[in-house]
Structure 1
Amino acid sequence: MFDKLKKNIGKKKDVLKTEEVYFKLAFDDRGAYVEVVDSKGQEQYEVVASQQDVNTREVLKCIEHIREGNLFSISWDNVPDRIYLDTNFHLLELLKHSKYLVNEKMEIIEFVDSEEKTLTLKIEETDEEGKKLRSSLLLEGKSHEYKFLNDGIVLCDTKIYRIKNIGESYMEAGDLNSEFPKEELESFLTVSLSYFLNLEIEYRDYRVVFDKERELKPQIIIEKISRDNSLYLNIGLTLSTLSYEFLSEYDINRAAIVNDMENKISICDVNLHKIGQAIEEVVKLLTKLQRRLKLREGYYLDGNLIILQEKLAKEFITKELLQMVGKYKIVGTDKLKKYKIRTVKPKLVTNLQHSIDFLEGDVELDIDGEKFSIFDVLASYKKDSYIVLSDGTNALINKKYIEKLERLFKKKDDKAKVSFFDLPLVEDLIDDKVLLGEMNKSKDVFRGLNDLAIYEGEKPPVKATLREYQDYGYRWLSYLLENQLGGCLADDMGLGKTLQAIAILSKVHSTSNLPSLVAMPKSLVYNWDNEIKKFSPNLNVKIYYGNNRDINEIEGADVVLTTYGTVRNDIKLLKDIEFEMVILDESQNIKNVNSQTTKAVMLLNSRNRIALSGTPVENNLGELYSLFRFLNPTMFGGIEEFNTFYANPIQRDNDQEVIEELKKKIYPFILRRTKREVLKDLPDKIEKTLFLEMNEKQKKLYDERRMFYYDLIHNQIKEHGIGRSQIFILQALNELRQIASCPEMKSSDMVSSIKREVLIEQIKDAVDNGHKILVFTNFIKSIDNICEDLNKAGIKHISMTGGTKDRQSLVEKFQNDKKCKVFVMTLKTGGVGLNLTAADTIFIYDPWWNKTAEDQAVDRSHRMGQDRTVFSYKMITKGTIEEKILKLQEEKSRLFDNLISSDSATVKTLSEKDIEYILGE
């Protein structure tokens, strides 16, 4: 065929040079197509050869073949001007290697060869109240004007990417860039996930989880009562805010349920075919009533619409409908006035007096001027689902209102009692908002929480200037303790929860003679010890932890530092001690209400209780119950009561009213600030040191090798002098550094580092709070260990060493992939030349003694383009060369500028006294 084409060259008047011929990739309503154009992008060229067997594949092959010559002039018969890719997609493979593929602006298009990309649907709030949302379809974290070539190929500007297949609806993907009100979020996500595949969802800091199939709740909609008093019922199904009409209209088989209490989005399967079961159940009930009334015809069924004749309708409403409230969602009861049934809005009338832990007294409901005891109303509603008024009207009360009354008011003898913690919710139910006597005094406590800015507390007695938000936290804790209430300080990691707690301890122990207990994970004990000595050295601190602990040694202490494991093991001793205050650091350690640790902590005897945690609730509401069972034991009652009134309605039904009520109930007692919120109040970079204690196996290995080198080096110096002993000194420094940070290297993985355990917990905390993390280490073995731990924790990450070739692609993945949370690399590899501003949290896993190298690593994140405060944590193993060199670094700042300047450096300025300090006990 090529020979025939060549014969035509020269016979045509239109002769163009090769560079003047382009393949333009364009789009119309049908989709993507290719056409041949000149350099201006305007003219199309017809084909000259008239062979019947010529097809579009041969067109492009010939064009590619002939382009190797100097001239180009062809024309074809029977080939369309526009070659659509939906039926000729193989053309892209031919065009992939062309230098002349252009977009509609005549810009050269390039193919990006990489793994399939995942599109992210990002939802953002566009107003301060969060009531308006905007969605954007992102590729590699960026918004583009997307043009889809098919369900797995997308054109962005001048680049073509392969993406994970988004399904046959790809032509409508542009509709995902939209604006809508917050109440439509579930509907929007549900449609998006039903019509498009492989989309990732990004909404605030919400987790996306895949759930099992959800049971849809049957729904009876009372549409109308006609002129002949016939009742029109529509049977449907609902799921959270999704109606049956919506689910069926869009043929939904997968729904998205947004849980604002647990900050998660559940993706679950739905089965609309179960509507038949709901209709069948109602029809069976109507058939039974029809027989009882001896009616020949009582109802008419049309799909999911049921029309009831008046006599059957009245019997159904008065005898059955209101009994179905628990199982069915009933909508439209306000239309039942013709049948002497109507909805009412009661008024709450209270007369409460203070008791020990709650208020009690008389509580009544005023319904259209008639007063009823609240417990009579609850009993009648439970039995009949309505209240009979004096004129014979059956009064319907909103089911949510009744459920709220059940949550708030408990019966004690003939009186009603209400928890102190529920007073704000009770006030919301009282129309005139007039609170008298003891109830008003109790409410003043809550009002005081709104006036902390003018709260006249004592200045924090610590050697530190608290930042504005830290001073507020101190005032908040002071106010709670003053009113004998517990609270959880839930600031983001790195914002100084420990300092705020030390300020409170210092204030309390300026007057109290009782000790305070601080329980924490074992890895934090020495950090607390150092922080207290630094900020409040007047406090008498004792550590109650370890094999040689003695309960008698804590006598006279102001603050006792211990671990959760020690509390669990020694609770028989500790429960008999009266503490001024118990503080739980990393309080998520008591998230399981049935664990032995949680049960032990609950037995501690203290006047005041405080919890510290960056992630107070990690998985479910049971963790919230456990936390407040410790902080304020009377807030929720028993676990069954909590599950009935809160956990089940929220987790099973995503009940928005219950969610808002629970938020309002706990709001005064949880104080949380994120780094982004207080960014203006923070410096650009905050550096902290985490001190960790070796486990027994690691300590034994370290001491054995330290003593070996201690003897060896002293003998070498004595025999040859310090100058000729450098190789032994460097060998000792290097091996002890390895054992301090990565003992697995020197023990065939028989000894594990405490750093691994602490690092993975810190990373989990940071990831849960929406941060991206860099981890720098000096040892390849440490990278392997860290990546293994991240895999077990299900945290997406990447790593880089000196042997990594394509570093820039890894950098781009970390910078742009929202799901990629951690970048682990060697200090030398990541020290220079990389821009990693997506991260704002950095861990120096095993620090290099040259401080400049550490600073350069931190500056990968803390540089131009970073819009957040950067937090850097240096991990130091206590009792090892790491701690000693850190102290030497502080005392001899110049020493380590000269100590080790490169991998092949020599020891230059270490004295015998320095070596004695480093290798000695």
Structure 2
Amino acid sequence: MFDNLKKHDTATKNIVNKIFFKLSKDIEGYYISIVDEHNNYIENIDHHNFNKNTQDILDIIESIETENLFSISWENNDKKVYLNEHPFLLNLLKNSKILIDDNFNKLNFIDKIYDLTLVIKNNNTELTSTLYLNNNIKNFILITENCALFDNNLVFIKDIGENFENIQDLNSTFIYEEFEKFLTITYSYFNNIIIKYNNYSVENGPLITAKPLIIIEKIDKAKSLYLKLGTFIPNFDNNFIEEYNIKNIITVNDLEQKILIHDIEFFNISKELEYLLKIIVTYQRELKLKNGYFFDETLIILEEKLAREFISKELTNLLTKYQIIGTDKFKKYNIKNVKPKLITNLSHSIDFLEGDVSIQIENEIFSIFDLLSIYKKNSYITLSDGTNALINKNYIEKLERIFRKDKTKTKISFFDLPIIQDLIDEKILIDAFPKIKEIFEGFNKISSLDLQKPDINATLRSYQEYGYKWLVFLYNNNLNGCLADDMGLGKTIQTISLLSYIYPKSKKPTLIVMPKSLIYNWENEILKFNPNLYTKIYYGITRNLDNVLDAQIILTTYGTVRNDIKFLKEIDFEMIVLDESQNIKNVNSQITKAVTLLNADHKLALSGTPVENNLGELYSLFRFLNPNMFGSAEHFNNYYLLPIQRDNDKEIIKELKQKIYPFILRRTKKEVLKELPEKIEQTLFIEMNPKQKKLYEEQRDFYYTLIKEQINTKGFTKSKFFILQALNELRQIASVPENISNNAIKSSKREVLIENIKEAVSNNHKILIFSNFIKTIENICEDLKKENIKHLSMTGSTKNRQELVDEFQNNSNIKVFVMTLKTGGVGLNLTSADTIFIFDPWWNKTAEDQAIDRSHRMGQKNTVFSYKLISKGSIEEKILQLQYEKSKLFESLISDDSNSIKTLSKDDIDFILNT
């Protein structure tokens, strides 16, 4: 019955005792051949002398070669066994241990899946992209779409797709204007490539809808009009979609430092053609023409009479529905593009230029607001000679953004002056506002300002000295701004330098507002760098405003300002400083409303993340700093937020950057601290022990069923608090089941953590450990005590935080500092540590990065190693996926106080709780 399984090959077999599988390359790719120990090719081998794995490889190679004998292939005339055609061979070769290259060097498989990372860096006016394997290996070759070769090592990678042979094309140099095009092609042609560009995050962006495009190809000698239908994606070439096999559009948002991946929604081009033809037929009938037009696929040709009627009467409607290019050709029909000229008669008030503004088109004059009204109605301006004047839409929108109507006058904000120099003659601006040239040119000369060094107990680094001069320049010109240096670059000492410049000359106090965890840090920093600044704290149950008003510097919290705004708004401060100013990112919050009621001659914001999520936060920040910069929230949303976030409008992004650039000073660690050592992050996946796994699966299944029942009976909104409780319990089981099981089940993580700590301590490293649960911190401290490892711990209820920080920084005997992620995420300097453990992950990776940067900041002399501990097969692994794949969801999912869920769909629950 098994006759069909017998081998019937009667050919003489070569009996050899030792063979090798050789990896070679030709123009078609990498292939496998069989050689003996003298590098001679052999075939028809007797299999019996080899192990099962080798026999399987030989069987497969023989089978492929036999199959090739009976097939005709123009590509594979030599009948070679190519790995890109038979990638399954790699898994067998991995176990063979007898794989070699052409030079008889042994090739080893590394038992780890590597990532491909494309690192893009600014290089003066160009961008340079470099492809790395596992972040540090530059010289490698892809032999298949999921296997790479380097230094005689073979590793598996995530499948990058059929274009793998072209992967080295990504090592390239290009101008910034081609950045989005480069990224779009990269994402469309290759899979599973990680993009790294500065500190930009990579996220899913909103759906981009492709728009129909009308191309005015030509008007021929007979004045027939040639129209062609195409596809238009904003900011990309008109034929970009057709030229490349585009799957997604990638945009770069420099303001929010994000790379956004957009799906594309295409329109039905046949329906658009049908729509245009219906309109054309209507005019054809009105003109009583027999023919008048011709169409073929996407091309429409209109005879002159029909074309004139169609364009003159339909242009307004066409511009609202279609992107149109080539309108300069309409001059043959008495329709032409024009470049308007501004005519101004302006005087200046404190924050505005005001007066009369008119627009000249050809030799005709229009009031600016009459022109805007006509254009809004018709999409063109009719001149007295009957010419329909077409004005660049971007120009019109710029006028709408900049010029405001105030009764009978036209007003221009001081803050818009940098972006209208191309519209108004410079001499007119200088005459109308004498100090404008001096102020805006002064921003370019800050580094050469002749200022006495601040009277502080420290020597400023060069970039800090520039920051100090920038702050003084703003102060002396009655301007307000945001010092947005990266975490750890010394925003506090730069601010203290400014205060040392202001005092003792000023007799009014400065109010510094901050999160409560930073109160005593600020007090210590002022005492250390300039003890002559008379400082008092206004905070706590026994606070008394009358007792602190004699101080030069008053330290308080956002909560105190919110609660005491009735009294604080009556005081005239010299300056208000907001530390961690992202606390006012929500323009409608009580804290934001309270802070904007404070009165001061000068204002300063400090934040490493001035815009965390969206441009609305930028508006809220500048509403505090410079209320006249953007006007109302509606004005900002209509003219900035929506065009940028919805359409990624490059012109408006450029304009917004011009507008805010003088008033935000942003430097990153990479830019200014060239000597800062690198930060190495690793993820340690840990298997749950059987009891832990059993408990986890029971509770996961239990909650999955219960949550569905809750939603069905109570509705989704009323179930949110229960969902959050369920997720938190699963996180604790995955991390420290002792907290849920009354110590009946032990944590696998604790064992891994303590072993790593013992090794680190033995090598004289100092360690930070972050967790989200107070009980977990207690568990870890118990383990450290058992091992006689000296340590400190800190939670939200800890009062003497600065004492603990100082002790850890200065006491070489204390090796470990354990704290909650939230407590350690803001304002602490812990540079004596160079090893960090994130014991359990948080939904938002930004919070983890901030915690890590407590150590990786100015003053750090060693390479910082950060380890994230993840329980495999648990909710933690799902969190890790969400951090990268759905980070935007969870930035809105968990509110700032982490007590409530904002938005969570049923699909999201399935993703988190399903196996």
1:123 aligned to 120, 123, 128, which one?
Answer: 120
Distance of 1:266 and 1:448 partners within structure 2: 36
Equivalent in the alignment of 1:145: 140
For 1:118, give the aligned amino acid.
Answer: D
Equivalent in the alignment of 2:335: 341
**Which structure 2 residues correspond to residues 48-67 of structure 1 after superposition, within 5 A?**
60-61=57-58
2:359 aligned to 360, 365, 368, which one?
Answer: 365
Partner of 2:842, secondary structure, is helix
Distance of 2:363 and 2:409 partners within structure 1: 22
- Maintained 8 Å contact 1:133/1:182: no
- Maintained 8 Å contact 1:22/1:102: yes
1:791 aligned to 830, 842, 862, which one?
Answer: 842
Partner of 2:284, secondary structure, is helix
For 2:483, give the aligned amino acid.
Answer: L
Equivalent in the alignment of 2:41: 44
Distance 1:4 1:642, change over 3 A: closer
Distance 1:377 1:459, change over 3 A: same
Distance of 1:684 and 1:24 partners within structure 2: 39
- Maintained 8 Å contact 1:208/1:267: yes
- Maintained 8 Å contact 2:53/2:96: no
**Which structure 2 residues correspond to residues 301-380 of structure 1 after superposition, within 5 A?**
301-380=295-374
**Which structure 2 residues correspond to residues 820-831 of structure 1 after superposition, within 5 A?**
none
Question: How far apart are residue 433 of structure 1 and its match?
Answer: 5.5
Equivalent in the alignment of 2:824: 759
Distance of 2:215 and 2:95 partners within structure 1: 61
1:401 equivalenced with 2:399 (yes/no): no
1:614 equivalenced with 2:608 (yes/no): yes
Distance 1:5 1:425, change over 3 A: same
Gaps of 5+ in 2: 71-77, 680-765, 767-773, 779-784, 800-816, 866-915
Question: How far apart are residue 63 of structure 1 and its match?
Answer: 12
Question: How far apart are residue 357 of structure 1 and its match?
Answer: 2.0
Distance of 2:678 and 2:55 partners within structure 1: 61
- Maintained 8 Å contact 1:235/1:304: yes
Q: Alpha carbon RMSD of aligned pairs, Å?
A: 4.1
- Maintained 8 Å contact 2:374/2:380: yes
TM-score, with length taken from structure 1: 0.72
**Which structure 2 residues correspond to residues 240-279 of structure 1 after superposition, within 5 A?**
240-243=234-237, 245-279=239-273
* 1:170-229 Cα shifts (integer Å, max 9, x gaps): 343333333433322222222221232222212222211112422223322211112221
Question: How far apart are residue 402 of structure 1 and its match?
Answer: 1.2
For 2:20, give the aligned amino acid.
Answer: Y
Distance of 1:640 and 1:743 partners within structure 2: 43
Equivalent in the alignment of 1:544: 538
Distance of 2:47 and 2:517 partners within structure 1: 82
- Maintained 8 Å contact 1:35/1:81: no
Distance of 2:797 and 2:410 partners within structure 1: 62
Distance of 1:480 and 1:347 partners within structure 2: 33
Distance of 1:860 and 1:50 partners within structure 2: 52
Distance of 2:226 and 2:165 partners within structure 1: 41
1:419 equivalenced with 2:405 (yes/no): no
Equivalent in the alignment of 1:94: 92
Distance 1:516 1:741, change over 3 A: closer
Distance of 2:55 and 2:819 partners within structure 1: 66
Question: How far apart are residue 277 of structure 1 and its match?
Answer: 4.8
Question: How far apart are residue 758 of structure 1 and its match?
Answer: 3.1
Partner of 1:614, secondary structure, is coil
- Between the two proteins, the alignment pairs up a number of residues equal to 729
**Which structure 2 residues correspond to residues 810-889 of structure 1 after superposition, within 5 A?**
841-842=855-856, 859-861=862-864
2:620 aligned to 606, 623, 626, which one?
Answer: 626
Question: How far apart are residue 454 of structure 1 and its match?
Answer: 3.7
- Maintained 8 Å contact 2:185/2:244: yes
Question: How far apart are residue 773 of structure 1 and its match?
Answer: 12
1:597 equivalenced with 2:595 (yes/no): no
For 1:82, give the aligned amino acid.
Answer: K
For 2:143, give the aligned amino acid.
Answer: F
Distance 1:333 1:61, change over 3 A: closer
TM-score, with length taken from structure 2: 0.72
Equivalent in the alignment of 2:887: none
Distance 1:860 1:263, change over 3 A: closer
Equivalent in the alignment of 1:885: none
Distance of 1:438 and 1:25 partners within structure 2: 77
* 1:558-593 Cα shifts (integer Å, max 9, x gaps): 111111111112111211111111000111111111
Equivalent in the alignment of 2:129: 134
- Maintained 8 Å contact 1:424/1:443: no
For 2:93, give the aligned amino acid.
Answer: L
Gaps of 5+ in 1: 66-74, 690-696, 702-729, 745-751, 767-771, 778-782, 798-820, 825-838, 845-854, 863-921
Question: How far apart are residue 411 of structure 1 and its match?
Answer: 1.8
Question: How far apart are residue 61 of structure 1 and its match?
Answer: 4.3
Distance 1:95 1:740, change over 3 A: closer
Partner of 1:546, secondary structure, is coil
Question: How far apart are residue 464 of structure 1 and its match?
Answer: 2.7
Distance 1:8 1:386, change over 3 A: closer
1:221 equivalenced with 2:215 (yes/no): yes
Distance of 1:500 and 1:795 partners within structure 2: 25
For 1:129, give the aligned amino acid.
Answer: T
* 1:259-292 Cα shifts (integer Å, max 9, x gaps): 2222211111113344445444433433443344
- Maintained 8 Å contact 2:834/2:863: no
- Maintained 8 Å contact 2:576/2:602: yes
Partner of 2:336, secondary structure, is strand
**Which structure 2 residues correspond to residues 282-301 of structure 1 after superposition, within 5 A?**
282-301=276-295
Distance 1:675 1:63, change over 3 A: closer
Distance of 2:291 and 2:61 partners within structure 1: 78
- Maintained 8 Å contact 1:636/1:642: yes
Question: How far apart are residue 645 of structure 1 and its match?
Answer: 1.2
Distance of 1:105 and 1:735 partners within structure 2: 55
- Maintained 8 Å contact 2:118/2:129: no
Distance 1:208 1:405, change over 3 A: same
State the percentage of identical aligned residues.
47
- Maintained 8 Å contact 2:342/2:359: yes
Partner of 2:337, secondary structure, is strand
For 1:128, give the aligned amino acid.
Answer: N
